[in-house]
Amino acid sequence: MTRGGIIVAAALMLSACMSGVGSGNSAGLATYDDLKAAQQACATKGGKLELKRNGDASYLPDYACEKAK
C-alpha cells in the first residue's frame, strides 16, 4: 500500500469513528434534528431513547437506546 493509500485509509477509519451513533451532525451536541433521528433509529430497534443516569441532556452521547419494558 502506498503512503497516500495509508493516509486515505486512516482518514476513512477516523471518519467512521466520528460518525457513530452518538456524534450526530453537531459534534455531539443534542440538537433537535439529531435527537429526532436518534429516537427514530432507536424505535426501529424496538427501544426508547433515554438520558443516561447523570447524563447531560445537551450531549447526544449521554443518551442510550433502552429496550422497552
For 5-54, what is each residue's pLDDT tens digit? 455 555 555 444 443 444 455 678 899 999 999 999 999 999 999 999 99
Q: What is the largest CA-CA distance in the chain?
A: 52
Q: Which three cell numbers stand for residue 40?
A: 427514530
pTM reported for the whole predicted model: 0.59
What does the pLDDT read at residue 28? 84
Considering just the CA atoms, what is the radius of gyration of the chain in Å? Answer: 15
What does the pLDDT read at residue 19? 38
What does the pLDDT read at residue 27? 76
Q: Which three cell numbers stand for residue 4?
A: 497516500
Residues 6+ apart with CB under 8 A from 33: 25
Contact 22, 61 (CB under 8 A): yes
Is 67's pLDDT higher than 80? yes
